[in-house]
Chains A and B, each alone.
Chain A
């Protein structure tokens, strides 16, 4: 060990660009002659190995470049008598490169090679590597890193993007123990090339900044640029970090007995794939099983977020030396062995005989997994939304998968036909791009009047949290035909993928309920537009459509899938709706229970700002809106757990506020969800620099009053769909319109207000009871009144599909029906809904209503 020159300064990269004029490294040769006439290489870089305090030089590694692009990395660790380092490896245990950077704060990265480590040093990150190449990790002294790990520092290995890189990471993890994590895949921004490492990542970043870099010398960066790159890298690293997978260690582990010929591993086989087909050998006999070759080349596990994860096998084959197209099969289809004729034609024959199919399916599996021909295994996610993969939260889409550090590579998502609609782009790379995307999203929130746009944009930014906040409402966007509901919904849906258009939306109400429910399950944490609830041509079609709507909306309202049985009478895994449903419709639904599960927003024709709509549609098509969502999700992924907890607390607070402001039933919950979503949108626009905090507060205050007004209107809508309310409304309407009439208790035309009791037209149709102006009571004949009212309800398309007893109970609960007589029944006192009164000297059993119910309805 030799003391370093005292003049060593403290720049970010302390490596001299070329050899030193004097000092311990002055004997590094300017050129390097390879043995056996291999040419002469030019010195490109010298990386000194320094002690942790930087005061001692252990030696250096020099990189020489040869004509034709090849390189040699020569260690200079043998000190001569004069203290100059000459070519030669360091004695074991060898020192690590980059020990002098361990005093930097934050994580310590173990890179593969001095070039990668030096690249990380240049952006202020502590990074080390071991000398002598990726296979010599065990020869280095890792004790400084063990100490760092013990002191609680994050130690992460960043393997090059290839098999030797992963083997090196596994070796290092084996030496450092469980304290050492690794990057499971290259961090976002790494070029997709074999062997890409930290230097390639930095090179790509500098290219994006239009900066040239030779990859070896320290790039000339300002402090701001260095900090930005460091932050970007740390974010990208956080998204892909994890424990070193055991598979890497298995690949890196030496085979038993040292170097060893693989051909001995497999032994003799009794199944053989030849050009004649697959043959089973039994001693001196052979049995032909089929006339084609087949092999499983890939097993794909399809993960929809439930415990059921079916596997799909991809089979390749050949017959008569000609390749057959790949066939994709479930495991059950494969085992049945009827697929060769189905996929490859009847010329592909399975021989007859007992047990042949069993032998063939076993033989194909056996041969596929034998020897070097390993079956590729991968997981394909078949839903959108948040998943915790290798301990990091990522948002799945058919395009980019978004993590805390941006796009996460290596995760496959297959959404089938919906893939085109839910394809997020990579998040913005620069603050300018982020601002542009957020501005497009903010403008999309102004194409409709606030009472429409605010709830819609709130849905967009609430949808990514639909599962985690258990959002149990659907937005019902009602408006007449040609009010451009679908166009507006498509602009909102384009936040999740540029493919969304008026004619290409996730689902239609004309789909079967099963299909809609399946889509709402797949599109987890996304906005799913269910389009076009319109009046149907026939009552039968309408009833069918209404059944679909009720089934789907009940599922959303209860956040539960429909329970089904499998063919073996076992309960199937439930697949509840996980999307946020935005439904477009030409009318509202009947029924209190179903209306309460919706939040209604009414659109009027010609209410959209066409210029802004055109610009929003252009932004949608260009993917700018989707990029805004990608940026939003990227931010959310950084601290997803905390974000989720905070949102729950915010929701509770907003709900309490709305409750105390006078909302009731489900509307405070719904209003709180919408305000929460709108708040997230405002926060995103604010973070992109589009709004000041004051603007944000003012816009939120406006949203609060808009949502409150919408909630009140919706409450009235729900209330009018309540059977008891509907009953008294129809009763008043029936009497006013002369559809039925009341007599006074003397059996005469009522002396006062006779017009209100069915006498307006002078044509008396059906008597349904009496009115007592003195007692302010109405006496209704139960059956006659119920029949008349239900009949009218059917004709005005507000069916009272509720049993008479339940209806009367609801009327009583709401104070529309006065108490009946108390009667003894089986020794108990029973409170009846009817009362016996004397009218015209006769006892009549009637329903007694306060006269005020009619006044109230007329006044309303």
Chain B
């Protein structure tokens, strides 16, 4: 047993799944890669189209406020204002805890 590592987390939690839950204003995705992410969670956004997310890598960018990052860990860290290790642990607890779906 060891603490969840970043590469394991990213392999276990697809960016598309994460953003589908975390971005309620994001329109249904039709493909991988860069997509419209809906309203930017980092500023008071009223106009769709500024915030883009990459559903393959987890990268995000807002053309209005300039917030950007390379993966879902960066996104989660900034929206929750957590340290890097705490972010990973939080993501693990939120998304990867035992649900009885396929083991245990």
Contacts and interface: CB of A to CB of B under 8 A. Distances in A.
A359 B103 CA distance: 8
Given A263-B14, A264-B17, A274-B8, A284 B30 contact: no
B14 A268 contact: yes
Interface string B1-35: 11111011101111111001000000011111001
Contacts of B28: 257, 260
A261 B95 CA distance: 20
A268 B103 contact: no
A790 to B, nearest CB: 72
A339 interface: no
A269 B96 CA distance: 7
A279 B2 CA distance: 11
A224 interface: no
A283 B98 contact: yes
B93 A283 contact: yes
A260 to B, nearest CB: 6
B17 A268 contact: yes
Contact of B12 (A261, A262, A281, A287): A281
| 5 closest Cβ pairs, A-B complex | A263-B16, A284-B89, A284-B92, A261-B29, A283-B97
Given A284-B3, A285-B2, A268 B96 contact: yes
Interface string B31-58: 1100100000000000000000001100
A267 interface: yes
B97 to A, nearest CB: 4
Contacts of A274: 7-8, 11
B36 to A, nearest CB: 12
A366 interface: yes
Contacts of B8: 272, 274, 279, 281, 286
A283 B92 contact: yes
Contacts of B29: 260-261, 263-264
Q: Which of B4, B31, B93, B103 has the most CB of A within 10 A?
A: B103
Contacts, number: 94
A273 B92 CA distance: 17
Contact of B96 (A257, A260, A281, A359): A281
A270 B102 contact: yes
Main secondary structure on A side of the interface with B: mixed
Interface string A351-362: 000000001001
Contacts of A269: 11-12
Contact of B95 (A262, A268, A362): A268
A368 interface: no
Interface residues of A, number: 29
B62 to A, nearest CB: 21
Given A261-B16, A264-B17, A274-B11, A284 B102 contact: no
A353 to B, nearest CB: 9
A286 B12 CA distance: 11
B88 interface: yes
Contacts of B12: 268-272, 281
9 contacts: A260-B29, A261-B35, A263-B16, A268-B96, A274-B8, A283-B4, A284-B89, A287-B1, A362-B103
A829 interface: no
A566 B56 CA distance: 52
Interface string A220-261: 000000000000000000000000000000000000010111
A214 interface: no
A284 B17 contact: no
A332 interface: no
Interface of B: 1-5, 7-9, 11-17, 20, 28-32, 35, 55-56, 88-90, 92-93, 95-98, 102-103
Contacts of A283: 4, 92-93, 96-98
Interface string A278-306: 01111111111000000000000000000
Contacts of B89: 284
A694 interface: no
Q: Which of A260, A262, A268 has the most CB of B within 10 A?
A: A268
A286 B102 contact: no
Nearest to A270: B96
Contacts of B11: 269, 272-274
A583 B28 CA distance: 72
A261 B16 CA distance: 8
Contact of A281 (B15, B16, B17, B92): B92
A257 B1 CA distance: 40
Contact of B97 (A273, A282, A359): A282
Contacts of B16: 261, 263-264
A266 interface: yes
B2 to A, nearest CB: 6
A272 B20 CA distance: 21
Given A257-B28, A261-B30, A263-B56, A285 B92 contact: yes
B32 A263 contact: yes
A303 B81 CA distance: 60
Given A268-B14, A285-B3, 11 more contacts: A260-B29, A261-B32, A261-B35, A268-B96, A270-B12, A281-B12, A283-B97, A283-B98, A284-B93, A286-B1, A286-B3
A271 B103 CA distance: 10
B27 to A, nearest CB: 11
Contacts of A259: 30-31
Contact of B20 (A264, A284, A286): A264
A286 B55 contact: no
Nearest to A273: B11
Contact of A261 (B1, B55, B97, B103): B55
A285 B7 contact: no
A260 B16 CA distance: 11
A263 B9 CA distance: 16
Contacts of A284: 3-4, 88-90, 92-93
Contacts of A362: 102-103
A270 B103 CA distance: 9
B45 to A, nearest CB: 23
Q: Which of A259, A272, A280, A287 has the most CB of B within 10 A?
A: A272
